[in-house]
């Protein structure tokens, strides 16, 4: 699964944490962490090289 295929609202796993996509314009991809204790509250990926595991 590549980042450009993930729609806003999609939940996925990345770096052992669960995330929800908040923005994806096909190049810059942003997500918020669903774990309140997550060391990183948000995530921004540029391009589509990152591999993530979609939950839903």
Q: Spell out the per-residue pLDDT of the chain, length 56, in tens.
A: 455 578 899 999 988 999 999 999 888 889 999 999 998 889 988 765 567 788 86
According to the model, what pLDDT value does residue 50 have? 61
According to the model, what pLDDT value does residue 27 have? 82
According to the model, what pLDDT value does residue 47 have? 67
With 0.85 as the threshold, say if the pTM is over it. Answer: no
According to the model, what pLDDT value does residue 56 have? 67
Output phi, psi for 3, to 5 deg. Answer: -60, -35
């Amino acid at each position: 699964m590549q980042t450009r295929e993930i729609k806003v609202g999609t939940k996925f796993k990345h770096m052992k944490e669960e995330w929800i996509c908040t923005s994806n314009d096909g190049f810059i991809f942003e997500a918020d962490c669903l774990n309140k204790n997550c060391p990183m509250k948000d995530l921004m990926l540029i391009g589509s090289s990152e591999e993530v595991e979609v939950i839903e």
